[in-house]
Chain A
Amino acid sequence: MGEKILMKGNEALAEGAVLAGCRFFSGYPITPQNEVPEYMSWRLPEAGGTFVQAESEVSAINMIYGAAATGIRTMTSSSSPGISLKQEGISYCAGADLPIFFANVVRGGPGLGNIAASQGDYYQSVKGGGHGDYHTIVLAPNSVDEMGNFPKKCYELAEKYRMPAMILADGILGQMMEPVEFKFTPVDPSTLKKPDWSLGNAAGRKKRIVRSYDLREGELEKMNWARAKKFQEIEDREVQFEEKNIQDARLVLVAYGTSSRIAAAAMKMARDKGLKVGLFRPITLWPFPKKQLAKLAQRVENFLVVEMSQGQFVDDVRLAVNGTAQVDLYARPAGIPSGEEVFAVVEKLYRSIKPTLTAKKAEKTKPAQKAKTPKKARPTKKPKPVKKAKAINKKTVKIKTAKKSTKKGGRR
């Protein structure tokens, strides 16, 4: 389209889905995502599609299950408690290998929680959510522009692998206004190929069944192994992430969605002060960029995870880093941190980075880097930070930061 429009995140999400070919939406109102069904209620009929306000989230996801089984692009959206209700249906779609797309505009939880932005649904999103052995592709936008452009990616991934794909956003992304540019040509659904499993219009072919069960001895296990293979393929091929200032970074902030923007602000403050701080932002939360993080951990001393949950996301970072670097956490399970707050943590942590670790890393990375890059800069540059860190480390022996951050952010 090439045109920039000022939109609310939720509206961008809805419009992005319509432009990507969505022709069926069912949902149930819940704050902070109400603009999505509201927008769809007039926009979809205009585009020749159907909007149904369901009597519950449970019903909404099952309408999606039915509509998606006919091979069309569908969408549902909700916020945390509503997504919990939809999980059974999502599991059925996973079990029936249906490509569905849904969005979770996360609010505070557990329970009714509050309507402010949160990232507390991380576990639920990336570790399955519903019952059974399955994964959901999870994309985490961090701008209104991405809210508008990710639905198409979700449809393509969901259809390529025949599985549910979701957008994990939050109340801030849903409610704020920013320019969005839809960077793709609108999809005309009639040009999409009807999948060979879709239901309806059986003229001239055998009947088809969409189901999520296989009661025959050993068959379900076989199916689940086939899915495991597919999941592995996705982990190998479909990882998306963004890196900023990581080439020379000694401390890398790791964050997704809204908190990645807060982290970016903190990174900028750090850079302005001459601290070598970078940012790693997973765009796909499942598949998680574990290989990329593991590689980064080979030469970075310290990671600081910033999340608006009490240490859910940090688990995956720690698994990826696997002990090769220190991973700290700044968590705000029912709050939104400011760039300054994060920067304060970054600064203290940065100055306490263990020199021994730095030296080890330098040693480790030396041979590999030597072979590749000319000697020039390396030898003079490397020892410096080691000394600096040593000196500062003595001054700030208390390492208040780590404690303070855990106080604020929970135990992990």
Chain B
Amino acid sequence: MELVNKKPSSLVDIKMHYCPGCGHGIVHRLIAEVMDELGIRERTVGVAPVGCAVFSDDYFNCDMIQGPHGRGPAIATGIKRSQPGCIVFSYQGDGDLASIGMAETVHSAARSENITIIFINNAIYGMTGGQMAPTTLVGQTATTCPKGRDPKVNGYPIKVCELLSQLEGARYLERTAVSSAQGVIKTKKAIKKAFQNQVEGKGFSLVEILSMCPTNWGMTSLQGAKFVDEKMMPLYPLGVFRSTEQEGGQK
């Protein structure tokens, strides 16, 4: 019999801790497949965040470093600038990237660091138990906005790709979703481009991935996917926000 599909070698063969219906496992696999396909596993260093994906340092079969909340882009900068031959990616959630780490995100993009950022947007704080995130939708409930996000009290959600697209240093920005099979395929393509850009020295690339958090949304897996499609996508439209063929600012 012919083997037609197998686990990517860039993923460690252990059980992941993620909840049923969560998007992290899917995105992990996509990143691993891309690493395999580009043949970069041995020179890749990943930055694991604080939060649900903290254990991704165990899951990816490449060198990993786990950093403080929000500091992924800074850590990635330090690695990339001191080891330009390495492929460096930072894996971050919405609280991590768009709240506490907004400065690191904006400035690493402004410097056009030749790194890849995988940004999981599930509109809620997962690991800490479902508090409001900077990306929580207006009206969406969370443990710190139990009556739903009220802009008068909580402000408005942050659209990261739109925000970063103002920056010259941001070379590639795309938003995708992993709520459907088609979305998963598109997401992989985007991730691959984001890594390929780094291999070619094109500079800062970020893929924002709309993902499910059924546990903290209080939904079933299927309802979670539906929530992404019906509630998140209108606010966070999918697509390429920036793609330049310019050389990156960094060596």
Contacts and interface: CB of A to CB of B under 8 A. Distances in A.
A55 B104 contact: yes
Contacts of B79: 66-67, 69-70, 199-200
B209 interface: no
Interface string B46-74: 01100000100110111111111001001
A102 to B, nearest CB: 13
Interface in A340-370: none
B103 A56 contact: yes
A397 interface: no
B42 interface: yes
- Interface-central residue, B60, B79, B81, B82, by most chain A CB under 10 Å: B82
A208 B47 contact: no
B151 interface: no
A66 B42 CA distance: 17
B82 A62 contact: no
Contacts of B57: 209, 211
Interface of B: 12, 41-45, 47-48, 54, 57-58, 60-68, 71, 74-79, 81-83, 85-86, 103-104, 106-107, 111
Contacts of B62: 202, 207
B66 A211 contact: yes
Contacts of B47: 66
B107 A200 contact: no
Given A209-B58, A211-B66, 19 more contacts: A24-B78, A50-B81, A52-B77, A52-B78, A62-B67, A64-B78, A66-B79, A74-B78, A74-B82, A92-B68, A200-B83, A201-B43, A202-B42, A202-B44, A202-B62, A207-B12, A208-B64, A210-B66, A213-B66
B67 to A, nearest CB: 6
B68 A209 contact: no
19 contacts: A54-B107, A55-B103, A58-B71, A59-B104, A59-B107, A62-B74, A62-B104, A66-B75, A66-B77, A66-B78, A68-B78, A69-B65, A199-B79, A202-B41, A202-B62, A207-B60, A209-B57, A209-B63, A211-B64
A258 interface: no
Contacts of B74: 54, 58-60, 62-63, 65-66
Which are the 5 A-B pairs with shortest beta-carbon distances? A66-B78, A63-B78, A66-B75, A67-B78, A62-B74
B83 A92 contact: no
Contact of B75 (A62, A201, A202, A213): A62
A89 interface: yes
Nearest to A26: B78
Contacts of A213: 54, 66
Nearest to A91: B68
B66 to A, nearest CB: 4
B99 to A, nearest CB: 14
A287 B190 CA distance: 52
A212 interface: yes
B83 A62 contact: no
A26 B48 CA distance: 21
A61 to B, nearest CB: 8
Contacts of B82: 23-24, 50, 66-67, 70, 72, 74
Contacts of A55: 103-104, 106-107
A339 B112 CA distance: 53
A88 interface: yes
A92 B47 CA distance: 14
Interface string A200-227: 1111100111111100000000000000
Contacts of A74: 78, 82
A211 B65 contact: yes
B102 to A, nearest CB: 10
Contacts of B107: 54-55, 59
B71 A62 contact: yes
B71 A209 contact: no
Nearest to A199: B63
Contact of B67 (A65, A67, A201): A65
Given A92-B67, A201-B86, A203-B43, A52 B81 contact: yes
B141 to A, nearest CB: 29
